[in-house]
Structure 1
Amino acid sequence: MKLVIALLLLVIGTVAFHFLSPWWFTPLASNWGAIDDTIGITFWITGIVFVLVNLFLAYCVYKFRFKKGHKSDYEPENKKLEYWLTGITTLGVVAMLAPGLVVWAQFVDIPEEAKIVEVVGQQWQWGFRFPGADGKLGSADNPFVSTTNPLGINPSDPAGQDDRLVLSSELKLPLGQPTKVLLRSKDVLHNFTVPQFRVKMDLVPGTISKLWFTPTREGRFDILCMELCGIAHYAMRGYVHVVSPQEYNKWLTTLPTFAETQQGGSGDAVAGENSYISCGACHGQQGEGNASMNAPKLAGLSDWYITRQIKNYQNGIRGSHKDDIFGQQMVGMAQILADPVTLRNVAAYISTLEETQTTNTVEGNADKGASLYVTCGACHGRQGEGNFALNAPRLAGQQDWYLKRQLTHFKKGIRGTNAKDQYGKQMILMAKMLTSEQDINDLLTHINTF
């Protein structure tokens, strides 16, 4: 009898949980309401079967419970029952599969008028590319990836010169326009998903997959990776903004073309030496850093990282938080390098500076820090050497007091909370894995051994 009651409670609790649960589909924002319909059909069929099977099981447990003096009747075959079960099961399977096949036929039939956007995934971020005036995307491949060509566009393909690039995880799409999405991976398996659009598709290295949808509601929606792609898989986030066609067209014209991104060239270190004098007043003329001025070491950092951080200060991505006192000071200094050529030259000069030995200021357990660093090393390298492909700066040789301050700022939201700071958002999630100050000290003590 206890088992009968348990089965009845299981059915009642499951049904009640479904109708009272706060977890439902996000509101639909695309043309794929048919996908919701197929899921609904599957749910109702499996739900009804679940209820009937468990109620039947409860009935059998009660009806045929052990009774002294009674003996069970063994019936090895019942063709009539088997025919009924086979027929009902077949109808149920067909009812679940047929709608999905119909929707899939629509899903792979991409409208000719659909606009094209390429989505490029890598650990652990997104990039996007639109065709230029010629309406065609240039060819691309991973061997072409470099510091100045992060999407790996073929520089010899004329069709790619006018392609417009989005080198961040923020994408805009026009309302009501069918959109064809080409999916490409630079490293491992990823999966592009926008829950409100009800579409998802794998990004497979070495091939291009595709999907399509029509945005039907303006708003800002999450782009997620739904394929376990490594240790920071959960931090691989992006956003798609569905806006009016007029706003979309205006935004599209502000995007740089591939040709424009290649015109900058590398910086002139000799020319950058004079411009660095102002920086050296705090950071040291050899980029050695100065703790008394709260100025970190610059020697040893890559020019691409220096350039990005200066631009972040110039654009208010860093130094805008009220508690980031030293970052606020850097905002004004960064404006000295407002000219892109001057900035490239200074970054090139800094990359030539020879490193000097730093003085350790934190004490911790290096062995415990080694286990904590496993997560950090996935991006920053096993020896803290940094990794351009993952946009992770070098940690080896950096002053521990500065690293400690930055980790604390990420944990407190002083750094990384700006909507445009995509890498900072990831670092907030990673820094929160360090649950105490001792964890930070242990980690930094390990980094000091590099």
Structure 2
Amino acid sequence: MADAVNIFWFRRDLRLDDNVGFYEALSGNLPVIPIFIFDKEILDKLPEDDARVTFIYEELQRMRSKLQDDVGSSVAMYYGEPEKVWKELLSDYQVNAVYTNHDYEPYAKERDIAIKEILEKEDVKFHTFKDQVIFEKLEVVKKDGDPYVVYTPYKNTWLERFKEEHKDAEGLRIYYTSSVLDNCIKNSRLPNLSLSDMGFKKSSIEIPEYDVTPTTIEEYEKTRNFPAKNGTTRLGVYLRFGVASPRKMVKKGMQSDNKVFLSELIWREFFMQILYHYPETRDNAFRKKYDRIEWRNNEDEFEKWKTGTTGYKLVDAGMRELNQTGYMHNRVRMLVASFLCKHLLIDWRWGETYFAEKLLDYEMSSNVGNWQWAAGSGVDAAPYFRIFNPITQKDKFDKDRNYISEYVPEHDTDEYPDMMVDHKEARERCLKTYKAAVS
């Protein structure tokens, strides 16, 4: 039989540098085969031109090319059900150990348990590492060991823990892989795939590069709330798939005098640990009494919300931006979510599911956390009587209508629909419904 190898399994960490599990695999004494599995279970539910699949595929091709050019290696690509792919790999190679990075979403945790069992039956070790966060699981908890469910004390403890472990940004270790990259297997012809092999085609949506220059981070607090300004980092999709290193991003946030960007990165970890400790919140309200709300769930009204034809200009601009680009400005996400749950009394789960289909930077923990926040049912949530006014939000954050004009060009013409619901009436209906459920 062929010589023994270790395998590194890329998942949500599509980068060659500062990748903890990849670095650990390469630091061993056996050649490493890097692999990626396009999971049939996930892909079969997606449209053929899904931009996320194109993004992942193109990042992997870049990684393959770099490995081929630098060290004569590659990334082996597979399409199928992970359990079947792993059985095939175990029959093709003498595998000593498998290395990968932790994934915290419910499906991923179940998948990893199943794969670990398959590997253990063949006496193959399964090593996993913390990579996509600075702190995970039980690393930032209250003194009694319970998880935090309010952001500010979580953030304060996170910062204290960071100082204890790393002192400052310079103390945070970056895993420079170039020193060990030569330990990849010398085979540049590892299995490849095309998008069409998996029933997909290249998406027409172009994902912009992220921007984390010192100037952007410094001015982030001033510019991030105005959707017409190019004032956000567009980092979300790159963190979601691990193209950008979380450690390098935190380091940049730490080095800036303005800590708002850093706070957003800590929010991401806060929601991740909430989903880890409370996986049931994917489908159920964190505050259980909020599951007693009598949602109206009018499908025609839901359709108007989805298509951006509610008659509320900033809401409609946000939904059309989402449908056209796979992105929506963060400030507008809060407004459209509040509008769905509170003005229309449509279940937050409907909105969360629609965002999961459309958002390129969809991350279950943040999406569920933010939708529950908007509905008032989640951790550290806005009180239910806080109801965004879509008209004053428009005047405050898109005063000159530049964002609205880009996505709702007919907003000042007779073609634009009337407001589907009166704000004052909707607000009163919402307060009455919520009060009846949670009092």
TM-score range (shorter-chain normalised) is under 0.3
Q: Which has the higher strand share?
A: 1
TM-score, normalization by structure 2: 0.25
Higher RCO structure, 1 or 2 (CA under 8 Å, sep 6+): 2
Structure with the greater alpha carbon radius of gyration: 1
| TM-score normalised by structure 1 residue count | 0.25
